[in-house]
Amino acid sequence: MAKQLLKGNEAIAEAAIRAGVQAYFGYPITPQTELLEYMARRMPELGRVFLQAESELAAINMVYGAACTGRRVMTSSSSPGVSLMQEGLSYIAASEVPCVIVDVMRGGPGLGNIAPAQGDYTQIVKGGGHGDYRMIVLAPATVQEAVDLTRLAFDLADKYRMIAVVLLDGSLGQMMEPAELPPFADGAALGTPPAWALTGAQGRPKNVVTSIHLVPEDEEQFNQQLQARYAEIARTEVRCHEYATADADLIVVGFGTAGRVAQTAVKQARAQGLKAGLLRPITLFPFPEQRLAELARQARGFLVVEMNAGQMVDDVRLAVSGQGRGGLTPAVRFYGRMGGIVPLPDEVLGALKALAETAGHTPQPSPVSCLPLDGGPVAR
Amino acid sequence: MLADVVLEPEITYTRPAALADTYTHYCPGCTHGVAHKLVAEVIDELGLRERTIGVAPVGCAVFAYNYFNVDFAEAAHGRAPAMATGIKRVLPDQMVFTYQGDGDLASIGLGEITHVAARGENLTVIFVNNAIYGMTGGQMAPTTLPGQKTASSPCGRDVEATGLPLRMAELLAGLPGTAYAVRRSLHNVKEINRAKKAIRTAFQVQQAGLGFALVELLSSCPTNWGLPPLDALKWIEDQMLPYYPLGDYKVADGVEQL
Ligand SMILES: Cc1ncc(C[n+]2csc(CCOP(=O)(O)OP(=O)(O)O)c2C)c(N)n1
């Protein structure tokens, strides 16, 4: 199929439809709304379910119910709406029913604004709801990647009976780029509903979907089962994009749009003689900690670029801690913009040069955050 | 010699197939068990056991799925109607019902129940009103009567501070998507029989695709009311009935003919 000029939000919607999504439930919120509107048009055309819920709280619980039937289902929202879904996400994770969530992030906290941001890293990657659960988190940096990862999200959700999240910022949701859509998933390949699904207990014992384990030993055992699955995923499902890392001694790390901007900065840095490289995690859970640890052996410093006050940077620090030559920890610096501002390549290049001047193979003291007095970007 | 006369015992009642052969965790004298039995009998009589999906609440009935022999999901507190919506929209041929307490339905889940009624969602809702939060140990519910003492209204519900109890059957009857909204009681045999008829109608409304159907059941909570079981049934009659009159608050066109 040829490339088409597609808007991020709509491309994700069409990719989900082609992945065989049978039901969509959602609530309008900028900068995600085109996805919902696209579904409102397309799903009924295909005889599938579209329903605008009365809130994100209802939407996620409709997803929960529909997911219990074993069909492919999804919702999409943006940061404040995803906050409201956290209760449901915890229940769904604990019930082991698969579904897909798309979070098109905007500026926060609070009502914030509708400009692109990456402030949901913590609530999505670490699990903003109660208890020890994880979701598979996929972070595209282009419209094409958003299309591809949407398909992957459904496949991984089904495979592991987990929630898979496509996490992107508002600029990618709103941006138009050429992208190629995949063919429709083969209906037969999607198969009959799995054995655990609620479909009416016809000729079989009843099925129950629940998240309660009242006896502490049972609850602990169930948690161990979940953790074992998460550990398996951490071994097998890590994905990242690398650029010029082979001989790099300065590694820039960023996901989604921040990673894409950082790649331009890395190119500029190379042109100026710096041995810079980029690691852009595509899966945020599982996190590419192994690969970062490997890179720590060759790198004198890491620069983490995010559109938030520094959320993923903590995971980078953990991954490289003590992994440098001689068991030392390479320098880890952070450059971030907040409030819905996308960093420019020049800014990232500046931060990279500052890192190049100071970072060596000496033990690093624990990092101290400092906010510039003029209220500019955060650097620490 | 006299021939042995063997009298075959006549079986007049058996446990419905839709009800599991197990003990329940309900307190002695609690009418949740009666409500379960009625729902199971109706599911059997309408031949729906193999194509019904229930949604359990958070509340004393949280383990309802252990007691019914049908597919079941367990919802978050108050969200059963939204979850049921998701199931019903994907599987419209299944009979989907929620079973909810008054804290679940009338307090934390007021938004969800109101919107399923507003949408005229084809669902059956069994609403057990015991005027209290049972599971958490007897706190005030939105249905707690004026002056009623609970663990969180120790001096009696002060309506100046907390308002008056919600009459859910009446409230939901006012929405255009509601096809059937009635209140029944479980305090004596006659009312239990009437309750069963209403539950039957509420499932038939769904079968016929007429819209949202709710049966509110006045129910006892001897443990948290601090009353022996029989006194608790009397308390329903004396205290609850005056504030919560039994009756049919919405019977839409077409329901009568079912
Ligand atoms: C979000 C959330 N808030 C509070 C609770 C605690 N909780 C469990 S059951 C319940 C009240 C249930 O009362 P009701 O719905 O009247 O049912 P009953 O137990 O009386 O049958 C509460 C507040 C919870 N489980 N989840």
Q: Which chain A residues contact residue B115 at CB under 8 A? A: 53-54, 58
- Residue A367 has a pLDDT of 45
3-class SS of residue A158: helix
In a domain, B9, yes or no: no
What's A87's DSSP letter? H
Residue B137, Ramachandran bin (φ over 0: left; ψ between -120 and 50: alpha; else beta): left
CA gap A27, A45 in Å, rounded: 20
Residue identified by tokens 């619980």 is A61
Which residues neighbour A62 within 8 Å (Cβ) at sequence distance 6 or greater?
A23, A25, A51, A53, A75, B82, B83, B85, B86, B89
3-class SS of residue A217: helix
Length of chain B: 258
CA gap A146, A168 in Å, rounded: 8
In a domain, B190, yes or no: yes
Asked if B46 and B52 count as a contact pair (C-beta separation under 8 A), the reply is no
Paired tokens of A314: 């903590």
**Contact call for A200 and B50, based on CB within 8 A:** yes
Asked if A325 and A349 count as a contact pair (C-beta separation under 8 A), the reply is no
What is the torsional sign of CA A122, A126, A129, A134? positive
pTM: 0.95
Q: How high is the ipTM of this complex?
A: 0.95
Atom in ligand 1 nearest the alpha carbon of residue B130: 20
3-class SS of residue A103: strand
Q: Which residue of B has its CA nearest to A207?
A: B71
Asked if B68 and B20 count as a contact pair (C-beta separation under 8 A), the reply is yes
Mean pLDDT for chain B overall? 97
Q: Whose CA is nearest to atom 9 of ligand 1?
A: B59
Nearest CB to A61: which of B50, B56, B76? B76
> What CATH number is associated with residue B58?
3.40.50.970
List, as ranges, residues 23-82 from B with C-beta within 8 Å of A. Answer: 49-53, 55-56, 62-63, 65, 68-76, 79, 82
**Contact call for A91 and B62, based on CB within 8 A:** no
| Cα B100 to averaged position of ligand 1 atoms, centre (Å) | 10
CB atoms within 10 A of CB A50: 19
In a domain, B163, yes or no: yes
CA gap B202, B210 in Å, rounded: 10
Q: How far is CA A212 from CA A90, A208, B58, in A?
A: 12, 11, 10
In a domain, B146, yes or no: yes
Which domains, and CATH codes, for chain A? 4-186+210-236 (3.40.50.970), 240-358 (3.40.50.920)
H-helix or E-strand containing A37? Answer: helix A33-45
Which residues neighbour A374 within 8 Å (Cβ) at sequence distance 6 or greater?
none
In a domain, B51, yes or no: yes
**Contact call for A208 and B73, based on CB within 8 A:** yes
- From B242's Cα to the closest Cα of chain A, the distance in A is 34
CB atoms within 10 A of CB A24: 30
CB atoms within 10 A of CB A369: 10
- Residue A366 has a pLDDT of 41
Domain that holds residue B242: 20-251
Which residues neighbour A152 within 8 Å (Cβ) at sequence distance 6 or greater?
A138, A164
Q: Ligand 1: residues whose CB is within 6 Å?
A: B 58-61, 77, 101-104, 128, 130, 132-136, 141
- Residue A192 has a pLDDT of 87
- Specify the pairing of strand A136-138 against strand A283-285: antiparallel
pLDDT at residue B126 tops 60: yes
Quick: pLDDT tens for B85-95.
Answer: 999 999 999 99
DSSP B183-208: EEE-SSHHHHHHHHHHHHHHHHHHHT
**Contact call for B70 and A63, based on CB within 8 A:** no
CA gap A214, B8 in Å, rounded: 45
Quick: pLDDT tens for B163-222.
Answer: 999 999 999 999 999 999 999 999 999 999 999 999 999 999 999 999 999 999 999 999
Q: Whose CA is nearest to atom 2 of ligand 1?
A: B77
E-only strand ranges, A173-234: 176-179, 208-209
Interface of A with B (CB under 8 A): 22-23, 25, 49, 51, 53-55, 57-59, 61-69, 71, 73, 87-88, 91, 95, 198-203, 206-212
pLDDT at residue B127 tops 70: yes
- Residue A369 has a pLDDT of 42
Judge residue B197's burial from the number of C-beta atoms within 10 Å of its C-beta, 0-12 exposed, 13-18 middle, 19 or more buried. middle
| Cα B109 to averaged position of ligand 1 atoms, centre (Å) | 10
Q: Which residue of A has its CA nearest to B96?
A: A200
CA gap B27, B34 in Å, rounded: 12
CB atoms within 10 A of CB B230: 12
Which residues neighbour A205 within 8 Å (Cβ) at sequence distance 6 or greater?
none
* Count: domains in chain B: 1
CA gap A98, A78 in Å, rounded: 20
Q: Which chain A residues contact residue B121 at CB under 8 A? A: none
In a domain, B1, yes or no: no
Q: What is the mean pLDDT of each run of 10 residues along chain A (380 residues)?
A: 94 98 98 98 97 98 98 98 98 98 97 97 96 98 98 97 98 98 82 93 97 97 98 98 98 98 98 97 98 97 98 98 94 97 98 92 43 44
- From B69's Cα to the closest Cα of chain A, the distance in A is 6
| Cα B79 to averaged position of ligand 1 atoms, centre (Å) | 12
In a domain, B2, yes or no: no
